[in-house]
Structure 1
């Protein structure tokens, strides 16, 4: 069976393209909430506390993180496609809960389902694309994957902002979610094929040393893997802050829903489009340098937010924040894949994505507490400083990745 299998982006472009489209729908589910949730919380449920509003991100982050881990751990046993389909089944009730929620607890519950959907569906598409393309095109594959997902986040965030401006924060923006979840499920059931056989093919040619304990090595022990993992956590820590606090901050600057939607959409849109180029760069240039520069650029951009409050200034900052994130996001995944053997790859990526997406919860809790105690400006500055510290960890702890990755202990 494996004799007929060929690894590569060109060789598997049809199945790869289907997975790209599916991941765009996965990202679209997150974009539903990106712009309108602070206003949604206040107008529909009377919630004004920053910490309380950010509770939906905490629920989402913790659930997605845990689901990522188990998706990676169970991918070989149950099959990537089966986990992908299961993820879409969890997505189906989400827009209906948001439309008809009688209390904020129901909104939090919808975000638990969203976390499960994202953990199962996004993780599955990541692993399946890596399975298909082999080592040569791995960075480009991750760039295209993350572009599709995060460009869709930005576009749906922009759409919901415009819809909310013209028709109100509910129910019309959430109608998009009904269509997205149904189409994502249908594509996954009828067009996606499982990729476990590609792993068997690659195992015959890759000699990367097996990890003795995938969780411990990826989290703490291995200098390469653990440096990447901490940066992933901090990346999503600052993204959780941007997701939850940026719309609130922009409201305090007297921006309307339309302009908040534009500024909030620029960051994930640039992040998404940029990965078409930075993913390929991760196949050519040193991954360590890309990770350091990306985290540093993010940190500097975040530190500037409280001091530049004009629309075009904030739009520019949002652009640079997106560029910094674009540099690191596909590089994270291709670097993790380079440093782990094919049989352990899904689990190692699952561990990385566990910690990375716990960053949403850590960022929401930390930035919410600091904002309620000292003000949103201090919260933003604190997250920016943490992001710069993460860049320094990459620079001084992470060894340089060689083309044929060996483990650096």
Structure 2
């Protein structure tokens, strides 16, 4: 073996050893954060999968369903921001437990809806706890994972969404074969939320938060106001703008796509899980891989590449026939434009001090309330441009501003979270 080969082998061994040094508590924390995303996204994607059946059942239309979805996202924004601030004051663990319970209750109650109005009310109330899972789980995950592998932990956490997507598609496809099967699909959401709350009871608090004296001493009002202090004001504004554009792009990609496949491409509802499976495979691989790759090349570069791919693939996303030819496009859309979400928890969390990180993450995820614009505008444009063209236009028109905004943002990958300071004005 040459001297170069020996050195290369030693470097590879060292990487494996370092990887194995990640504490079990860190793996558990990221696993619970990923499960938190699985739980709330299971419900959220059920909405998308059951959309066509709900329209028929309650004698409504796609436009009304997008309005209901947007209403849920508004309450979700409230929950995201204020639960994030509450997590700064009272701890990440307690807020995650509350989120699991909240999601379980209102997912179950959705299955008891007796008309479109009761359905609407349950969705609005669900949105509050739905938001909590996003900001609090993201903060908890990145604070519990080692710095050099933060992107990996961030990506693993976000992959929980995709597993929920394919799981909800499979469950919905199964139950829809039975009378009132849509109700049983919603009832099934009680199980993962209950399990999550029980698991969180056995988990420890974030050590970074636990050691931060400012976090426990400040009031919720002080926490929120501090986001506009001189040292992080620019970061807060850019984070909100970036997440607004990125959220609109994501919801343009997947929210109405199952309905598009079913109503335009002729895919049976019981077969949607096959197409969603390719998306899930791409995203589950993309999120942790891009997350860890971003520790080497930077997160902003990978976000930019992902948006360029979204722009290029958007026309093929809606024009190709629903055969094996479409599968590579679905995989790539899952891997890059959706896979880049694996970097988001770390990308946002690295911009804020510990005492404000929950609120900072909440500010970013609050932008999800604007993501409802995507299905809303698509529904408006559908009669004019056609379903497919409306989706493609929304993907492209949201990817462009996302690309521009991220190029103005600093890249903080590898930053020590406990050393970020807040300079008061």
Distance 1:389-1:21 versus aligned 2 partners, 3 A rule? closer
Q: Is the 8 A contact 1:38 1:53 kept in 2?
A: no
Q: Residue 370 of structure 1 aligns with which residue? A: 381
Gaps of 5+ in 2: 1-20, 215-222
Q: Is the 8 A contact 1:269 1:322 kept in 2?
A: yes
- CA shift, 1:145, in A, is 0.7
Q: 1:236 aligns with which of 241, 247, 256?
A: 247
Q: 1:112 aligns with which of 100, 103, 124?
A: 124
- CA shift, 1:75, in A, is 1.2
In structure 2, the residue corresponding to 1:92 is in which secondary structure? helix
Q: 1:383 aligns with which of 389, 394, 399?
A: 394
Q: Quick check: 1:199 aligned with 2:209?
A: yes
Q: Residue 409 of structure 2 aligns with which residue? A: 398
Count of aligned pairs: 388
Q: Quick check: 1:288 aligned with 2:300?
A: yes
Q: Is the 8 A contact 1:154 1:269 kept in 2?
A: no
Q: Quick check: 1:349 aligned with 2:349?
A: no
Q: Quick check: 1:41 aligned with 2:55?
A: yes
The TM-score normalised by the length of structure 1 is 0.83
Q: Quick check: 1:54 aligned with 2:60?
A: no
- CA shift, 1:291, in A, is 0.8
Q: Residue 335 of structure 2 aligns with which residue? A: 323
Q: Quick check: 1:174 aligned with 2:186?
A: yes
Q: Is the 8 A contact 1:127 1:346 kept in 2?
A: yes
Q: Is the 8 A contact 2:39 2:164 kept in 1?
A: yes
Deviation per CA, 1:369-395, whole angstroms, max 9, x where unpaired? 222444323321321221331243146
Q: 1:31 aligns with which of 41, 45, 68?
A: 45
- CA shift, 1:126, in A, is 1.4
In structure 2, the residue corresponding to 1:313 is in which secondary structure? coil
Q: Quick check: 1:245 aligned with 2:256?
A: yes
Partners of 1:143 and 1:303 in 2: CA distance? 27
In structure 1, the residue corresponding to 2:148 is in which secondary structure? coil
- CA shift, 1:131, in A, is 1.9
Distance 1:380-1:53 versus aligned 2 partners, 3 A rule? same
Partners of 2:413 and 2:134 in 1: CA distance? 27
Larger Rg: 2
The TM-score normalised by the length of structure 2 is 0.80
Q: Is the 8 A contact 1:29 1:180 kept in 2?
A: no
The aligned runs of 1:264-343 (5 Å cut-off) are 264-343=276-355
Gaps of 5+ in 1: 1-7, 205-209
Q: Quick check: 1:259 aligned with 2:271?
A: yes
Q: Is the 8 A contact 1:303 1:385 kept in 2?
A: no
C-alpha root-mean-square deviation of aligned residues, in Å? 3.1
Partners of 1:203 and 1:139 in 2: CA distance? 27
Q: Residue 170 of structure 2 aligns with which residue? A: 158
The aligned runs of 1:73-112 (5 Å cut-off) are 73-112=85-124
